[in-house]
Copies of this chain bind each other. A is one copy, B any other.
Amino acid sequence: MVAPLRVGIAGLGTVGAEVVGLIERQKRALSLRCGRGIRVVAVSARSKVKKRNVDLTGIAWAKNALAIATDPKIDVFVELMGGVGDPALSAIEAALRSGKSVVTANKALIAKHGSRLSALAEKHGGALNYEAAVGAAIPVIKTLREGLAGTDIDRVYGILNGTCNYILTRMEREGLSFAECLKDAQRLGYAEANPSFDVDGHDTAQKLAILASLAFGTKVNQSAVYVEGISSIAPEDLRAAQELGYRVKLLGVAVKTETGIEQRVHPTMVPRTSSIAQVMDVTNAVTIDGDGIPPITLVGPGAGGAATASAVVADIADIARGVRALPFGRPVAKLKVTTKAPMKRHEGGYYIRLMARDLAGTAATIATRLAEQKISIESIVQRHPDGTFDVDKPAGKSQPVPVILITYATTEDAVRRALHAVQQDRVITGKPQVIRIEKN
């Protein structure tokens, strides 16, 4: 029997406490699965006296994270403190330098320092596992790194932020505004007091950058992600989406193009019958398009103490079994550098909602401006104040009337030029709403 794996955990919030409890409860199964025991030997946290729902008897209390990271009697350093910089970062660096393996749930840190830390892990022979950083218990990191190791990946996309999906779900179901739903999400603990990181798409962007690196063999680069959040989405967009056979989701999309890897986060219209459209409330999902094979979709909880702890413990179990996967699936020296794909080059269909001044010929003007940019229109619909739709028929009322256009595939550039011209024509008021359409 091999000696037990000695684990030190820095950070005893909800996840940290769950990890300690799970390792204890699953002691026997883990030992069978790994061929050796897993034992939490040390923990650290800001407050030693705080009441926690876990038994810490027999576990040493370390002075701080660095003390665990550098303790020669510990094999694996588990970082559950969070934060993109110190103390988490320097503790992880110290642990890797000492040849320890590291497990972390810290997406921000992996998105920012992943390549550098990965190089350290490679050099010193430790693992750097971070399954919990994206999609919690959904095994998306393992799937991209190992399960699809032989498959050339064309695209990976998903719903990576539960807060945004919860807000969009409630807006659609109850016809509420973004602001109302956000307030509720905050009350229920699904959104932070400062919600910008979630609702403006930055959380999704960090996770997407990590997935893109694993899928395409590129250096993780969060700044290469084009980001747009959900705060501009109005109930009428969701209503229109429904009537047109779509649903609006905040997607992170990374796709191989002729000019490199395009990474983008923005509200997206997806076909209502697609797998991704069925993912509601706080649930997350990731779809992977491999060369020549139908899409694979992984759905599940993207957050929560137990779900996150599940992934952390699986990462520890891999280390106990002796597995040392390259953190990004390939040697860091071989990861390619990606640059930001300018969104003006994005190709696809578009949903456009305009407030048309009620002038005869508005639809014709809009259609002409789009035609000048060679944009083909799949449908143009004018919503009457009573909520009904009509095709190509002016409403005949004096206030602005919403006009909704669906275009066939075109480029971001063409859409922007056409809308600029329409604005110059003064046939619309306000800023047009533009939502990209992702087929299947």
Binding site for B on A (CB under 8 A): 22-23, 25-26, 29-30, 32-35, 131, 137-139, 142-143, 146-152, 217, 273, 275, 278-279, 283, 290-301, 304, 306-307, 309-314, 316-318, 321, 323, 325-326, 329-331, 334
| Contact call A306/B292, Cβ cutoff below 8 A | yes
| Contact call A299/B299, Cβ cutoff below 8 A | yes
9 interchain residue pairs of minimum CB distance? A150-B313, A139-B147, A296-B300, A149-B317, A294-B301, A292-B306, A32-B330, A297-B299, A293-B307
Q: Taking A142-B147, A151-B137, A321-B325 as contacts, is the C-beta distance between A32 and B297 under 8 angstroms?
A: no
A300 CB contacts on chain B under 8 angstroms: 293-297
Known: A32-B334, A33-B149, A275-B299. 19 other contacts (CB 8 A): A22-B151, A23-B150, A29-B217, A29-B330, A33-B326, A33-B330, A139-B139, A143-B143, A146-B317, A147-B311, A149-B313, A149-B314, A151-B310, A292-B306, A293-B301, A293-B304, A293-B306, A296-B298, A296-B299
| Contact call B301/A298, Cβ cutoff below 8 A | no
Q: Which of A25, A304, A323, A331 has the most CB of B within 10 A?
A: A323
Enumerate 5 A-B pairs (CB-CB under 8 Å) in ascending A order. Answer: A26-B151, A32-B331, A143-B147, A150-B316, A323-B323
Provide the main secondary structure of the chain A interface.
mixed
Number of copies: 2
| Contact call A150/B310, Cβ cutoff below 8 A | yes
| Contact call A143/B139, Cβ cutoff below 8 A | yes
A148 CB contacts on chain B under 8 angstroms: 137, 139, 310, 314
Q: How far is the CB of A303 from chain B (nearest CB, A)?
A: 10
The one of B26, B146, B298, B329 in contact with A298, judged by C-beta atoms closer than 8 angstroms, is B298
| Contact call A296/B137, Cβ cutoff below 8 A | yes
Residue of chain B at shortest CB distance from A298: B298
How many angstroms from the CA of A273 to the CA of B173 in the assembled complex?
A: 14
A321 CB contacts on chain B under 8 angstroms: 323, 325
Residue of chain B at shortest CB distance from A278: B278
Residue of chain B at shortest CB distance from A329: B33
How many angstroms from the CA of A330 to the CA of B32 in the assembled complex?
A: 5
| Contact call B294/A304, Cβ cutoff below 8 A | yes
A22 CB contacts on chain B under 8 angstroms: 150-151
Q: How far is the CB of A181 from chain B (nearest CB, A)?
A: 20
| Contact call B33/A147, Cβ cutoff below 8 A | no
Q: Taking A150-B316, A152-B29 as contacts, is the C-beta distance between A290 and B310 under 8 angstroms?
A: yes
How many angstroms from the CA of A310 to the CA of B298 in the assembled complex?
A: 17
How many angstroms from the CA of A286 to the CA of B66 in the assembled complex?
A: 41
How many angstroms from the CA of A298 to the CA of B297 in the assembled complex?
A: 6
How many angstroms from the CA of A77 to the CA of B298 in the assembled complex?
A: 30
Residue of chain B at shortest CB distance from A307: B293
A29 CB contacts on chain B under 8 angstroms: 152, 217, 330
Q: Taking A149-B33, A331-B32 as contacts, is the C-beta distance between A296 and B217 under 8 angstroms?
A: no
| Contact call A150/B296, Cβ cutoff below 8 A | no
Q: How far is the CB of A384 from chain B (nearest CB, A)?
A: 31
How many angstroms from the CA of A283 to the CA of B283 in the assembled complex?
A: 21
How many angstroms from the CA of A323 to the CA of B147 in the assembled complex?
A: 13
A142 CB contacts on chain B under 8 angstroms: 139, 142-143, 146-147
A273 CB contacts on chain B under 8 angstroms: 278
How many angstroms from the CA of A25 to the CA of B152 in the assembled complex?
A: 9
| Contact call A149/B331, Cβ cutoff below 8 A | no
How many angstroms from the CA of A378 to the CA of B143 in the assembled complex?
A: 42
The one of B150, B311, B312, B334 in contact with A314, judged by C-beta atoms closer than 8 angstroms, is B150
How many angstroms from the CA of A142 to the CA of B298 in the assembled complex?
A: 13
| Contact call B331/A217, Cβ cutoff below 8 A | no
Residue of chain B at shortest CB distance from A334: B32
| Contact call A151/B313, Cβ cutoff below 8 A | yes
How many angstroms from the CA of A440 to the CA of B243 in the assembled complex?
A: 27
How many angstroms from the CA of A138 to the CA of B275 in the assembled complex?
A: 15
How many angstroms from the CA of A317 to the CA of B329 in the assembled complex?
A: 11
| Contact call B137/A30, Cβ cutoff below 8 A | no
Q: How far is the CB of A54 from chain B (nearest CB, A)?
A: 14
Q: How far is the CB of A38 from chain B (nearest CB, A)?
A: 9
